[in-house]
Amino acid sequence: MLDRVLSAKLREYGPENAVDQDNVLQELMQHYVLASLSRAGLFTEAIFHGGTCLRIVNGISRFSEDLDFLLKRPDPSFRWEGYLEAVRKDCAREGIAFDVQDKSEAASAVRKAFLKTDSIGKLLTLDLPFERYHARKLRIKLEIDTNPPAGSSFSTSYITFPVTVPLTTQTLESSFALKLHALLCRSYVKGRDWFDFVWYIARRIRPDLALLEHAIDQQGPWAGQQTVATWPWLMQQLRSVIGRLDWTLARQDVQRFLPLREQEALRLWDAAFFQHHVGKMEEMAQ
């Protein structure tokens, strides 16, 4: 039964190559994990955010690997253990065998866990349009910030596959604020963040600058400096980062997460392209 369900969902996506197909399979597994976490009660204390939230809840066109969460209130005692066991049992009943590993470190506010499965090709025989090594594992990383910056807004969203369940999700204004924090403070090039940046601006989302302020004061080069995140300050910092990034690396990072039809647009990626989008953002501030 599950074989037929997943095969039908895969056809709905219409993957264009083997990489696209693996992205779809991973996203289907993410849905099962989210449904289980919802039933286990995670969203009474946590908020779903990040790239996979943008993908599954808000329809951004790029795929995403990880499931990212924030606690609604800081809690250093948070543990993944009970939730991971709920996911393992729920998915096993569906026919998906997950290997569960809690990689949390007591000294870190970000608690990590990994879910891995090789069920597709072993326990499940799907009608795949592209050849796939049968023992290749799909991996989902879960991260939750147990000491998030204060001020995130959230609302209730729903997924309808594999069942209808509620998710507590970060609002786009708060989401954009934390994305900007990543763009300004990340020590390496992550093109997926810059793809999201263009997506937010195209939808004229105004970031929550108060949340950005809390975030930069908590972590990054401005930590503890009580920097006031005004629009002019933000524009200046974005233009500075854009001017020094390696856009070839940025394109390479995001390419495998995009459908083929969207990859051609990556040729436009250079400093001038992103400076143009900062200009569009400046217009929103007026």
Paired strand residues for 154: 170
Q: Is the domain of 18 the same as that of 113?
A: yes
Query: Which residue, 170, 190, 206, sits at the end of a domain?
Result: 170
pLDDT, tens digit, for every residue of 109-143? 999 999 999 888 666 778 888 888 666 799 999 99
Q: DSSP letters of 208-244?
A: -HHHHHHHHHHSSTTTTS-----HHHHHHHHHHHHHH
Q: Is the domain of 140 the same as that of 204?
A: no
Q: Is the domain of 162 the same as that of 184?
A: no
Q: Is the domain of 126 the same as that of 187?
A: no
pLDDT, tens digit, for every residue of 138-186? 999 999 999 999 999 999 999 999 999 999 999 999 999 999 999 999 9
Q: Is the domain of 163 the same as that of 198?
A: no
Q: What is the sign of the dihedral through the CA atoms of 249, 67, 241 and 263?
A: positive
Q: Is the domain of 121 the same as that of 14?
A: yes
In sequence order, the 6+-apart residues with CB closer than 8 A to the CB of 282 are 231, 235
CB 112 within 8 A of CB 125: no
Q: Which range marks the domain in which residue 196 is found?
A: 174-285
pLDDT, tens digit, for every residue of 175-214? 999 999 999 999 999 999 999 999 999 999 999 999 999 9
Could you tell me the CA-to-CA distances from 127 to 1, 6, 23, 32 in Å, in that order? Answer: 13, 9, 16, 19
Report pTM.
0.95
Query: Which residue, 117, 143, 170, sits at the end of a domain?
Result: 170
Residue type, 109: A
Mean pLDDT of 46-61: 97
Whole-number percent of the chain with pLDDT over 70:
98
- We report the CATH number of the domain holding residue 73 as 3.10.450.620
Total domains present in the chain: 2
Q: Is the domain of 139 the same as that of 107?
A: yes
Query: Which residue, 113, 136, 170, sits at the end of a domain?
Result: 170
